[in-house]
Amino acid sequence: MRNRPNAVELLDIAEQTLTSEFAPDMSKRQRYNVALIASAMGIARRELGGGISAWDGELDTLSALYGADPLETPETTLSRLNRKLAADFRAGVYDKEGTEQKAVLNLLCQDVLARMEEDNPRYEKISAPKQRNEMSRFVKRR
């Protein structure tokens, strides 16, 4: 059993205290620095609460592309498959148009959108049809 407040709650309390109790009494420059610190704390809090990946489908998508070792932990598998994906990008494996390229581009788009939401929750979410349209325009430009 973990202590209460837990890590996420502690970051939330610290962020709120920093921005509501300390920042108002500071100079403009100090308030800016406090805002940066509070933003970093918010990102850390959301990452801690979010699991091993910014979006739930990342491990499944990578496993579908490369296969997964059932003896590995999800964290180890995700790390290994991301390294494999990066190596394949460098080697030009996904340069040729096709279903694998589309799957990888979709993976990248989903990852970017999830990271944007995690890093900046005020980011205006795009509706699913608009996302598909934006992704298809990106794929066509390549």
Q: Give the pLDDT confidence of 52-97 residue by residue, as tens digits.
A: 777 778 899 999 999 989 899 988 999 999 999 999 999 999 999 9
Average pLDDT over residues 123-128: 58
**Do 118 and 42 meet the contact criterion of CB atoms below 8 Å apart?**
no
How does the average pLDDT of the chain come out, rounded? 82
Q: What is the pLDDT of residues 8-26, one digit of tens each?
A: 888 889 888 888 888 788 8
pLDDT reported for residue 135: 55
User: How wide is the angle at C-alpha 105 spanned by C-alphas 103 and 107, nearest 5°?
Assistant: 70
